[in-house]
Structure 1
Amino acid sequence: MKAQIAPWAEAEAFLAAHPEIEAVDIVLTDANGIGRGKIIRRHEVEGLYKQGRHLPSSILGLDVTGEDVEETGLVWSVGDADLRAWPVPGTLVALPWTSPARAQVLVSLYHLDGTPHGADPRHALAAQLAAMAADGRYPAGAFELEFYLLDAQPGPDGKPRPASMALDGRRHGQVQVYGLDDLDGMQPFFGPVYEAARVQGLPLETLISEYAPGQYELTLHYRTDLLRAADDMVMLKRLVRALARRHGMVACFMAKPLAGQAGSGMHLHVSLNDGQGRNLFAEAEGEAVPNTLLRHAIGGLAATMGDGMLAFAPHANSWRRFVAKLYAPVQPTWGVNDRSVALRVPAGPVPARRLEHRPAGVDANPYLVGATVLAGIRHGIAQGIDPGPAAEYQGFTQETPFARTMPADWRAAITQAETSDFLKGALGPDLHRAFLAIKRTEMLRLAEMIPDTDYQLYLHQV
């Protein structure tokens, strides 16, 4: 796999155009999708681009709390040795909300000899893209970002609550899906979001009021490079979180933050192009939808969904999202123009034919989601897997040939992922080992906690 390292000339031109920049955040995305790194001063940027920057191997072996997980094999068993971070092309951008002015750049980790480190999630997606390219196929796509805007302080009951309107402070508890008044009420926040996205070169498009009070969706324009599409999602989440904080709100990327309300997904729209940029999922005149290649891609994703669910739903809270009739898929079903399914072929013009992969929560790592989805597509095409009949608008309840392969909960997903040759191939052995060790540690950490519901149910009753 060829390394993708940004040239110094890219940073040199950026710094010349931005004399106000005093420091730069270098951002590495770990297995949980959390940005980690350092803030370096302006004069250190040249060294980053010319010699790389040392970061400890343990940075890829941290759990969601930021603590070391020795079982990853990335901490003391290798002496917490330094690796070298190199900047990702095209990701050095200004942070227009900062004062004094800062910028940020995404980085990936490499061994000191220059080979990509196997536990870096971005390299996992790059490896799947390289395997696709070897077959003459080039994935294109975009992610959707669903999230909640919450008050910075909890409500009277001590729990999170939707943020009041930024325009006038009005508050309501209604769903108001697709409500334009709610979007207008949040324009003092979303206006700066769009301006910051413009500054950063993020192709931010549609804004939607989603299926719960305080829930919103932002869409990104399709990229012909799926790796860059995943970078877009990493950068957009960081942008939204930072601006929400400066507006007295919390941008919440939990999959299910509020009981009784819809969870937040991170749907991936993906298609395959040939070497001339033609969409291989587009059916020929008179051909059925989906065409044979797309049908096999769907079959591969359905057949491997159970093994990949830990990448799509990586946390205990992720599994609270899978509630029937709240637009989160609960079966490995597929359909055309049908939002009740996990794998949807949207309506639209033939040249734009694509697949919408809907299982992933917004708490998932987009690099892991992308790598696992592409591995599933490759598997389906290579094996010629037929997905069976479409769900016909019954995706919430319909049994499928692959339903028995789906884990029932987080613990089962961890167990299934641990023994999955498919997921090991999708992520690579180093990342697979690290990711599973981290999830095991987090599961044990959670098991040691006594939630308030235990006291409510059992303290005086048993």
Structure 2
Amino acid sequence: MQLLPELNAFLEANPDVNQFDVILVDLNGILRGKRLDRNAITKLYKSGILMPRSTFASDIEGDTTDGTGLGIRTGDIDCPCLPVANSLKIVPWAHEPSAQVLAYMVDEDGEALRYTSHGVLQNVIDKFKELKLKPIIAPELEFFLLDRQRDEDGRPLPPISPVTGARDKNTQVYGIAELDDYAAFLRDVKAAAVAQNIPADTAIAEYAPGQFEINLHHSDDLIQACNHAIELKRLIKAVALQHDFDATFMPKPFADLSGNGFHMHISLYDEAGNNVFANGEDLGNDTLRHAIGGLSATMEEGMLLAAPGANSYRRFSPECYTPLHPSWGFNNRTVAMRIPAGPDAAKRVECRVAGADANPYIYLASLLSGIYLGITQQLEPGPVTQVNAYKEFEPTLPLTWDAAIQSFEEAKLLPQVLGSEFCHVFLQIKLAERQKFHEFITMQEYDWYLRHA
């Protein structure tokens, strides 16, 4: 009921909107929900609408994972869903006047369920409130534009430049000409972001043809920042279709090109508004060192949360700016935890492991869990890296899906903060997905073994 004025103001300002998408973000970061008409949307704001609890047992294909205990074994019960504040927005790319609103699933006390995307992050945020500390984050997301046509084997192709008419083949990181070629697309992304009040700013051409990165402003409203990341992904895909492209956040769509990453900048402030990482030195103070120590200590356990799918692990290779070891350093892009150069008041750590397929709520929750444990237990990181981390360290992170699943299954630190209920549900989904994945026989296997075995 407390958000009803927000709805009433929206309805008054948008009398032509008759279609509302109510969106839940499942544990894979996939958008699920219901489409309501104007007469039905008020119910969401007055009392909530019901959705199956098994929504959060969905695997990547949308099938319910029975091992979670959220599906048919326990009756596949419905739970109420409530609107997320400030997420009711126009959908500017829709063919008819439409709106969208994010929602979260709650228990009988109206609290977000701890094993849901919103719930697990809120649980970690509450830990920092106890420390009287406020995290501030800034997400960066990479994606590819693709030709809507596939090659003869069904594989994706880089886009055809709207300016030259030729298929993109060159890698021009930070290239201005590449931004010019796709200026119309980027302009419409910006316009849609403004219409949806998504604070996206910097766009850069990345390390592969048709690859871009868009950054979100730093924010101390962590739930809202993750909402914006989810909304931005939907927006980019929709605007790409309007320009006759596909957009993908798949971590590694091309074997011979760089992958799509998801970097997260994190700083911490006290109640007086002081950056508690800053002390005038490049490497920051003890608090920052302990935060990085916690990130390092939990990185192996949390790899599955940063790289949740089979394709995620194709990103990781030497010299590709994808960390292979929990290294850290100042102004060094070869490390997993980078302290960027800049003013002391903006002292922060950039976490560089995740792929763009990571659920932002869950990935952020895992990072903050590491920082929380590092600060409260005064954990120490390894030696600071001043050179190429790929040359200095042997890989120690789990670099296959199987290894990451095992590391998460055996985790001791992260469940202390994320909660055993969330860890159980997430693990069961990934175990089920792995089983499905290994049941497929690839064309490569037929090519290699059908005749010669």
Q: Same fold per TM (> 0.5)?
A: yes
Q: Pick the aligned partner of 1:210 from 206, 209, 218.
A: 206
The equivalent of 2:76 in structure 1 is 80
Aligned pairs for 1:100-179 within 5 A: 100-167=96-163, 169-179=165-175
The equivalent of 1:458 in structure 2 is 449
How far does residue 307 in structure 1 lie from its aligned partner after superposition?
0.3
Residues 1:51 and 2:51 are matched in the alignment: no
Aligned pairs for 1:23-422 within 5 A: 23-167=19-163, 169-284=165-280, 287=281, 289-399=283-393, 404=396, 406-422=397-413
How far does residue 156 in structure 1 lie from its aligned partner after superposition?
4.4
Distance between the aligned counterparts of 1:72 and 1:186, measured in 2? 44
After alignment, is 426-435 or 339-348 more displaced? 426-435
How far does residue 289 in structure 1 lie from its aligned partner after superposition?
2.0
Q: Is the 8 A contact 1:23 1:39 kept in 2?
A: yes
One-letter amino acid of the counterpart of residue 438, structure 1: I
Distance between the aligned counterparts of 2:88 and 2:342, measured in 1? 34
Distance between the aligned counterparts of 2:387 and 2:88, measured in 1? 44
Matched position secondary structure for 2:300: helix
Q: Pick the aligned partner of 1:430 from 409, 421, 427.
A: 421
Distance between the aligned counterparts of 1:288 and 1:9, measured in 2? 47
Q: Is the 8 A contact 1:124 1:426 kept in 2?
A: no
Q: Is the 8 A contact 1:142 1:226 kept in 2?
A: no
Matched position secondary structure for 1:449: coil
Q: Is the 8 A contact 1:6 1:87 kept in 2?
A: no
How far does residue 6 in structure 1 lie from its aligned partner after superposition?
6.0
Deviations 1:369-417, CA, capped at 9 Å, x for gaps: 11000000011111212213212122223338xx65x324111111121
Deviations 1:341-391, CA, capped at 9 Å, x for gaps: 000000011111111000010000001111000000011111212213212
Q: Is the 8 A contact 1:331 1:398 kept in 2?
A: no
How far does residue 232 in structure 1 lie from its aligned partner after superposition?
1.0
Q: Is the 8 A contact 2:89 2:99 kept in 1?
A: yes
How far does residue 246 in structure 1 lie from its aligned partner after superposition?
2.4
Q: Is the 8 A contact 2:27 2:117 kept in 1?
A: yes
How far does residue 66 in structure 1 lie from its aligned partner after superposition?
0.4
Matched position secondary structure for 1:36: strand
Q: Is the 8 A contact 1:118 1:431 kept in 2?
A: yes
Deviations 1:232-260, CA, capped at 9 Å, x for gaps: 10110011111112222111111111011
Q: Is the 8 A contact 2:298 2:413 kept in 1?
A: yes
Distance between the aligned counterparts of 1:451 and 1:365, measured in 2? 27
Q: Rate the CA distance shift 1:377–1:68 in 2: closer, same or farther, 3 A.
A: same
Unaligned runs of 5+ in 2: none
Distance between the aligned counterparts of 2:335 and 2:2, measured in 1? 40
How far does residue 151 in structure 1 lie from its aligned partner after superposition?
1.0
So what's the TM-score if we normalise by structure 2? Answer: 0.97
Deviations 1:300-356, CA, capped at 9 Å, x for gaps: 101110000000010010000001111111111001000000000000111111110
One-letter amino acid of the counterpart of residue 371, structure 1: A
How far does residue 182 in structure 1 lie from its aligned partner after superposition?
1.2
Q: Is the 8 A contact 2:168 2:210 kept in 1?
A: no
Q: Is the 8 A contact 2:269 2:275 kept in 1?
A: yes
Distance between the aligned counterparts of 1:6 and 1:102, measured in 2? 23
Q: Is the 8 A contact 1:166 1:189 kept in 2?
A: no
Q: Is the 8 A contact 1:344 1:357 kept in 2?
A: yes
Unaligned runs of 5+ in 1: none
Q: Rate the CA distance shift 1:100–1:262 in 2: closer, same or farther, 3 A.
A: same
Deviations 1:6-55, CA, capped at 9 Å, x for gaps: 61111111111111211111111111010100111112121100110100
One-letter amino acid of the counterpart of residue 150, structure 1: L
The equivalent of 1:449 in structure 2 is 440
Matched position secondary structure for 1:21: coil
Q: Is the 8 A contact 2:324 2:399 kept in 1?
A: no
How far does residue 166 in structure 1 lie from its aligned partner after superposition?
3.3
One-letter amino acid of the counterpart of residue 418, structure 1: E
Matched position secondary structure for 2:207: coil
Q: How many residues end up aligned between the 2 structures?
A: 453
One-letter amino acid of the counterpart of residue 81, structure 2: A
How far does residue 428 in structure 1 lie from its aligned partner after superposition?
2.1
One-letter amino acid of the counterpart of residue 99, structure 2: A
Q: Is the 8 A contact 2:52 2:76 kept in 1?
A: yes
Q: Is the 8 A contact 2:114 2:123 kept in 1?
A: no
Q: Pick the aligned partner of 2:15 from 12, 19, 22.
A: 19
Q: Rate the CA distance shift 1:389–1:443 in 2: closer, same or farther, 3 A.
A: same
Matched position secondary structure for 1:397: helix
Deviations 1:282-304, CA, capped at 9 Å, x for gaps: 224xx452211111101110111
Aligned-pair RMSD on alpha carbons?
A: 1.5
**Percent of residue pairs identical:** 41
